[in-house]
Structure 1
Amino acid sequence: MSDPTAAPAAKRFAFLVHPRADVASDMARVWRPLGRMPAAAWDWGLKTLPVPPVPLATVHRRDVADGRPAGWVIVVPVGASQLLTEDRRWVISKVEQAVDKAERLGAEVVGLGALTAPVTGGGRLLRPRPGVTMTTGNAFTAHLTAEALRRLLPAAPGWHIAIVGATGSVGSCVVRLLADEPIGSRLTLVARGQRRLHDLAADFAGRATGVSVHTSTSLDPVREADLVLVLTSSADALLGSAHLKRGAVVLDDTQPRNTDPRLAVERPDVTVIDGGVAAIPGIDLRGDIGLPRGLAYACLCETMLMAFSGHTETAIGAASVDHAVRMRDAARRFAHLGFDLADPLSFGRPVAWPAPALLAEAA
């Protein structure tokens, strides 16, 4: 007789990724010779030829000795710009094919990485699949982002935070998490839709005290912020030198990244931190996902956590605070494998956490 109090059995998972701005470089992670193809050839080939989804990596738990993969990372063969500009039905069909591949491998939990989440309406435009639990990975990303903001800002008030892409799935969840434990004294929410911005700001103001909240549909107020959180969905760099005050700190939580790599040269006074990255020392990830060994993106970590904990409730659409809390608790349960905030990277290179003195100078 089964024990009704026993923890659910672990499931296997798959996590979907896609080539980013430099398609050749990312496809070379699958097979090195693919990196020699010119960009124009990739654009034509991925759109015209029946390129199938392919496994990029296998994931193994170091605390399980059966040798079987706990999960797979699968490449959706569509470039970032194509995901955002090609016919939506074609794009969704390519994501569906990757989910088909995941099911054939034996995955019961499927995570939608990078732009595969927004282009499918947070997974809501994909067909239902009995026995498969879907997630965008956005809730754990929001939790880890809120933790990074608290790590970056000292406890003293006075800092101005700007959140670009505030009304998106991750952004709105981050804002609500910050409302429960406010930091800084001024918060500027930036997004395209004024109505959603107004509603989110009103929600924050009704739950938080001591923080002045403002909204904008342009990047102009970002120039006044000490710390800028970037949560947009774009195929190209969005935030550049002209948008940032002297000494600003930027937390870029986007894939493909939405901060201009030229910032590292043009603005040495600005510190850019790659957001949404967790340490996973207890996980053996056999493949190249574009991060140093022992690290993983938070959205991939959420997919793992849902699988390891036997989670059966789909987490599509906008990320909720309740699910972020569940994923935080799951991370604590599997803390022997990692799932805490990684040491900081900047454009993929290790850096130190910015000292409070830097932010004090910016303010």
Structure 2
Amino acid sequence: MFGLIGHSTSMEHAQKAAAQLGYPEYHEQELDFWCSAPPQIVDDIKVTSVTGNTIDGKYIESFFLPEMLTQRRIKAAVRKILNAMAHAQKANIDITALGGFSSIVFENFSLQNNRQVRNVELDFRRFTTGNTHTAYIICRQLELASAQIGINLSQLKVAVCGATGDIGSGVCRWLSEKTSIQELLLVARNQERLHTLQSELGRGKILPMEEALSQADIVVWVASLPKGVEINPETMKKPSLVIDGGYPKNFDARIQNPEVFVLKGGIVEHSLDIEWTMMDMANMDVPNRQLFACFAEAMLLEFEKWYTNFSWGRNQITVAKMEQIGEASQKHGFSPLLLKEAVTAART
């Protein structure tokens, strides 16, 4: 059995979703209440592969909220993720994906040092961040969507914003080894890590965000957007493609230009309907078939009976593992989300 640990994108989103999840008493509650709410299994899931195999899963609502990522409430955020993991393990779930901010909190606050959660000793082999499949899907989206808008990979400059993160570094390795892109632009806050990545790749130009965005034909965004920073689409190349791999996804609202195409990054579509209700609350266009690639990784590990923390630790994603999970993804009927309509865009 597989598990998915998820959460809402904001307190407002959580309040709206509470009634749908069967918790109407949560609807009017404020942040202090949400900080103490225990994790719950709120959905039973059934997924059928195109091979004919069917697997069962559980969705664990952690009741974590991004508003908890403040100095005052960070202990609550950490507690939320650990409690949800312990809840999944007590339910005898074989492999569970840490969705959304769950994996970010786990890595940034070194939660691997917190194995004991009350009477449960966490077995980290039962958990995956899902980041390898996410990185693979973003790379395939880049390759396929660029063709949709009529731009040739061999002529492209690609900027990866958040290049030194787990997903970002995996994307950079794939682009360096598996594609013929003209130039790779590296953007991140930590300059030391950027130079280390550049040295590892043997290529890549380190640039400030604004300069990289103005030069790039494709922008892969896998970073948090700093407060007060706005993206000006008028300074971006036309045509260009933005793959929004962040969470929550909001670039389609920030960028309003007919020649700057925005694609929700790290989203897959399944060939068959999935029996669940939780994706109705995730703003998917086709909620019974579309889902986050990190969640799909747990499903793939269950289909293949690979009961291991396939994605784990910062900057451990290799091209070989991306190819491995990619083959499983195709085998079981998952495909990258693409632009709704193919557009032929003449390059200038």
Q: TM-score, normalised by structure 2?
A: 0.82
Partner of residue 308, structure 2: 313
Within the candidate set 156, 164, 184, 1:187 is matched to 184
User: Could you tell me how far apart the structure 2 residues matched to 1:288 and 1:232 are?
Assistant: 25
Contact kept? 2:68, 2:74, Cα under 8 Å: no
Partner of residue 252, structure 1: 244
User: Could you tell me how far apart the structure 2 residues matched to 1:13 and 1:237 are?
Assistant: 39
CA RMSD for the aligned pairs? 3.0
Gaps of 5+ in 2: 116-121
How far apart are residue 325 of structure 1 and its match?
2.5
Q: 1:61 to 1:122 in 2, by over 3 A?
A: farther
Q: 1:27 to 1:102 in 2, by over 3 A?
A: farther
How far apart are residue 77 of structure 1 and its match?
1.1
User: Alignment partner of 2:274: what SS?
Assistant: strand
Q: Which amino acid aligns with 1:150?
A: E
User: Alignment partner of 1:117: what SS?
Assistant: helix
Q: 1:89 to 1:55 in 2, by over 3 A?
A: same
Within the candidate set 95, 99, 114, 2:100 is matched to 114
Contact kept? 2:268, 2:336, Cα under 8 Å: yes
Q: Is 1:286 matched up with 2:299?
A: no
1:74-153 equivalences under 5 Å are 74-83=60-69, 85-121=71-107, 124-126=110-112, 127-128=114-115, 129-130=122-123, 132-153=125-146
What is the number of equivalent residue pairs in this alignment? 324
User: Could you tell me how far apart the structure 2 residues matched to 1:185 and 1:160 are?
Assistant: 6
Contact kept? 2:214, 2:237, Cα under 8 Å: yes
Identify which range, 119-128 or 312-321, moves more after superposition.
119-128
How far apart are residue 163 of structure 1 and its match?
0.8
How far apart are residue 320 of structure 1 and its match?
1.4
Contact kept? 1:237, 1:259, Cα under 8 Å: no
Q: 1:188 to 1:53 in 2, by over 3 A?
A: same
1:160-239 equivalences under 5 Å are 160-205=157-202, 213-233=204-224
Contact kept? 1:163, 1:189, Cα under 8 Å: yes
Within the candidate set 9, 32, 35, 1:20 is matched to 9
Contact kept? 2:162, 2:188, Cα under 8 Å: yes
Q: 1:131 to 1:320 in 2, by over 3 A?
A: closer
How far apart are residue 13 of structure 1 and its match?
1.5
Partner of residue 304, structure 1: 299
Partner of residue 119, structure 2: none
How far apart are residue 239 of structure 1 and its match?
5.5
How far apart are residue 225 of structure 1 and its match?
1.3
Contact kept? 1:122, 1:136, Cα under 8 Å: no
User: Alignment partner of 1:300: what SS?
Assistant: helix
Q: Is 1:339 matched up with 2:334?
A: yes
User: Could you tell me how far apart the structure 2 residues matched to 1:258 and 1:179 are?
Assistant: 28
Q: Is 1:29 matched up with 2:17?
A: yes
How far apart are residue 61 of structure 1 and its match?
2.5
Contact kept? 2:160, 2:186, Cα under 8 Å: yes
Q: Which amino acid aligns with 1:203?
A: E
Contact kept? 2:264, 2:337, Cα under 8 Å: no
User: Alignment partner of 1:180: what SS?
Assistant: helix
Q: Which amino acid aligns with 1:301?
A: A
Contact kept? 2:252, 2:262, Cα under 8 Å: no
User: Alignment partner of 2:144: what SS?
Assistant: helix
User: Alignment partner of 1:188: what SS?
Assistant: strand
Q: 1:44 to 1:304 in 2, by over 3 A?
A: same
Q: 1:172 to 1:118 in 2, by over 3 A?
A: same
User: Could you tell me how far apart the structure 1 residues matched to 2:232 and 2:125 are?
Assistant: 44
Contact kept? 2:144, 2:338, Cα under 8 Å: no
User: Alignment partner of 1:119: what SS?
Assistant: helix
Partner of residue 8, structure 1: none
User: Could you tell me how far apart the structure 2 residues matched to 1:155 and 1:245 are?
Assistant: 14
Partner of residue 324, structure 1: 322
How far apart are residue 94 of structure 1 and its match?
1.0
Q: Which amino acid aligns with 1:240?
A: I
User: Could you tell me how far apart the structure 2 residues matched to 1:70 and 1:147 are?
Assistant: 27
Q: Which amino acid aligns with 1:278?
A: V
Partner of residue 118, structure 2: none
User: Alignment partner of 2:45: what SS?
Assistant: strand
Q: Is 1:241 matched up with 2:227?
A: no
TM-superposition CA deviations, 1:215-251 (whole Å, max 9, x none):
1244332122111110014697965225634432111
How far apart are residue 147 of structure 1 and its match?
0.7
Give percent identity, aligned residues only.
Answer: 21
User: Alignment partner of 2:258: what SS?
Assistant: coil
How far apart are residue 171 of structure 1 and its match?
0.4
TM-superposition CA deviations, 1:47-102 (whole Å, max 9, x none):
3xx212233432202369xxx97112222212113236554433221111111221
Identify which range, 104-113 or 121-130, moves more after superposition.
121-130
Contact kept? 1:235, 1:256, Cα under 8 Å: no
